[in-house]
Each structure stands twice: as structure tokens, then as C-alpha cells.
Amino acid sequence: MHKAVKIAVFLLLSTSKALSDCPDGWLHHGSSCYHISHDKEPMITASASCQHMGCEFVEIESAAENAFLFAQIKPLKIEAWLGLNDIQEETIWHWYGSNRPLTSTGFKNWHSGEPNNLQDDENCALMSPANGQWYDGHCHVPLHYICEKSYGSGEIVG
């Protein structure tokens, strides 16, 4: 085998190993792995499902991350829960797992007029497959959801 072929095979195997740091069925982007659920759950059950898999609800921190996730849900035509809520205090939005305020990330992607707290009971954020923007919704409604874990942080059960 020529030296160049050996190097190419080594690089291919090394790349395959690196890509395996996200479990099967998970998507790699930046420093994270993402799982877009096949099932629908209310926000609280969806959070428990993410935790059961050893991760948390997604926390979107940049336009690039938002665009990546939008590109995943758009062809599926699904609304998906994000890990964002104002359950503790109306209008003060926090990320579910870390409890960091939305203002700490510097990125938000609310649709015009959102969040609007329709019927005084919309406390959980979702991403729309129509435009990738965020809307507040009723937390008890079953929707798809997105989980996130650090890339290469070990095996996920689930």
C-alpha cells in the first residue's frame, strides 16, 4: 500500500471515530450533539426524557445554532419545544436545564409580537418549522422536542 493511501485510510478512520462521538441518530453541530424527538411530549415530560438520555433541553446561543436546528425541523414540518420558559416569573425567560436567563446568551429569535402569553397561559418556547422563529406556547401541549449534550461527552443511554 502506498504511503498516501495509508494516510488517507488513517484520516478516514480518524474522522469516523470523531464523528461517532455523537450517538447514532444524533446530529453534530459545533460543540454539541442534538436529538430531535420522534415522539411528542408536554414540556415537563420532554425535559425528563432529555434528562433520562443524559442531556438537557436545547439552549440556543447563536444565530448559527438556530439556523442549524431550523434546517433540521423544517423538512419534518414539526414544531419543537426549546428549553426556554417563563414559568417562574412572567416575562422573565430562563433556559430550563441551566436556569440561565435568556438575556445572558445575547441571542433570541422571537417572532414579531412574541412572546404574547395568549390566554395568560403560554410559558414555554417552541421553534416553528415555517420560519425558525420562536413562539410561546402552552406547556401542557405535546410537541416534539430538542435535546442537547456536549460533543464527545460520553455515551448517551436511550
For 62-97, what is each residue's pLDDT tens digit?
999 999 999 999 999 999 999 999 999 999 999 998
* Interatomic CA distance for residues 98 and 83, integer angstroms: 9
**Could you tell me if 111 and 135 are in contact, meaning their C-beta atoms sit under 8 angstroms apart?**
yes
**HSE toward the beta carbon, residue 137, CA cutoff 13 A:** 23
Average pLDDT, the chain: 87
* 141 exposure class (CB count in 10 Å sphere: 0-12, 13-18, 19+): middle
Q: Among 16, 25, 45, 22, which residue's Cα sits nearest to residue 149?
A: 22
Architecture of domain 24-150: Roll (3.10)
The domain limits of the chain are 24-150
* Interatomic CA distance for residues 20 and 30, integer angstroms: 14
pLDDT at residue 158 tops 50 = no
Q: What is the pTM of this model?
A: 0.83
pLDDT at residue 45 tops 70 = yes
